[in-house]
Amino acid sequence: MRRGNLNKISYILIVVSAIFTIISYVADQLVIRYENKLRLNKFNYQNLDTEIKSLTMVSKSLTSLDVESSVIVGRELRQRNFWIKNVILFESDKERFVNHKKKINILVNQDFPIYNIKWRARQSTRDLTDKVVEIRNSYRNIFKESIFNNIDFYSIDDFNENLSGRDWFKNNSEKFFNVKNWDDITSLLNSTEINDMDLRDWSDIRNFRLLIAEILFNETKKITPLIEYLDKIIEDKEYDLEILFFETKKINSYKNYFVLTGIISQILTLFFLLILFRYLIKAKII
């Protein structure tokens, strides 16, 4: 072998080094591509995670309001007749009630017990109205969430309209004797002297409470499918999130493998070059 000439082994070593250099380059490029994929996946993951948290919050808030509404309606329905029956029995001057009082020998001589019942009935009506307004406002706050913009089986406008109180008295005029509008009921509940209120006024208050309970009950009933719909979306999105999580994990693993492959290839390139130099020196080519 002449000095300065490369032989077959030298060429093989050079080709092997070149192959590992190419592998290293390819691995580096793949790392860059997978890094981009990873960034995109992480971005999607975070967005989806935030979306799920937001939807879960909406679903939980709706569930809480649904339960609260049901409790209010349930309590209201249980006591819907109790106090008015007392008022009728003790205030009515109809003969049948006067006789009945005598028959059962219940005589209330003092004014206080019946005044107490009336005072509490009026007070609890105010409380009920406040509670329903609070619940309505809480619902309205939740309905501001963007998810409700795409729901076609539930109308937020109907909800707002039904719980706005507009036309309540106009549409239910047959249920009231004296009350024709909000001013009348507000006056009955706040400014009119209890002793100046007659049985018709108390009847109106009783029916006003029942009307509130009925409207709240009907609106609450419509919330349940909404919660079910949200829970279904959350479930689907959680499944997507899980897939995305494992996909991200997989991409990350591949990226790590390519990084390691790149490192190993670079070292192997160096290794074969060193072997080449060693061979060149040993074979006295240089």
Partner 1 sequence: MRFLRISLLLNTFLNKSNKAKFLKYINIGIFFSVFAISSALITFYIENKIDNLEYSLSETHILQKQNKQDIDDFVQMKVLLKSIVVTDKAITDLYEFTASTKLGQYLITVDDLYLPTLFIEGQESAEMFKEMTEDGLWEELQQLVSEWFGKDSEEYKDYSEALESFYKNIDVYKKDYEKYYDRIFNYDLNIVADEILTKEKSINYFDHEFQKDNDKLEILLLDMFILFEVMEKFFFELSLEYEDDISEYNKEILELSNQESKIIIVAFIFQFLVFIIIQYFEVLSIQPNKLKNAKRKSK
Residues that bind partner 1 (CB under 8 A): 3-6, 10, 14, 67, 70, 73-75, 77-82, 84-86, 88-89, 92, 96-97, 100, 104-106, 174-175, 203, 206-207, 210-211, 213-214, 217, 221, 224, 242, 245-246, 249, 253, 256-257, 260, 263-264, 267-268, 270-271, 274-278, 280-282, 285-286
In this complex, which beta carbon is closest to partner 1, that of residue 10 or of residue 61? 10
Nearest distance from C-beta of residue 193 to partner 1, angstroms: 22
| Closest of 12, 8, 6 to residue 286, by C-alpha | 6
Reduce the DSSP state of residue 47 to 3 states and report it: helix
Of the candidates 108, 63, 87, which has an alpha carbon nearest to the alpha carbon of residue 224? 63
**DSSP characters for 11-37?**
HHHHHHHHHHHHHHHHHHHHHHHHHHH
Nearer of residues 157 and 218 to partner 1, judged by Cβ: 218
**Smaller CB distance to partner 1: residue 25 or 277?**
277
Closest distance to partner 1 from the beta carbon of 172 (Å): 8
Between 146 and 221, CB nearer to partner 1? 221
Q: Which two tokens stand for residue 52?
A: 């799920």
- In the bound state with partner 1, the residue whose beta carbon lies nearer, of 26 and 280, is 280
* Three-state SS at 86: helix
State in angstroms the smallest separation of the CB of 149 from partner 1. 27
Mark out the alpha helices in 104-190 (DSSP H runs): 112-142, 156-162, 168-171, 182-186
- For the record, the structure tokens of 267 come out as 């070292």
Nearer to partner 1, 113 or 146 (CB): 113
Q: In terms of CB distance, is 194 or 241 closer to partner 1?
A: 241
Residue matched to tokens 């819907």? 80
Sign, CA torsion 99/104/107/108: negative
Smallest gap, in angstroms, from Cβ of residue 78 to partner 1? 5
Give the orientation angle of helix 8-78 with respect to helix 199-282, to 10 degrees. 170
Residue 65's nearest CA partner among 230, 262, 186 is 230
Q: How far is the CB of 222 from partner 1 (least distance, A)?
A: 11
> Least distance from C-beta 141 to partner 1, angstroms?
22
In the complex, least distance from residue 243 CB atom to partner 1, rounded to whole angstroms: 11
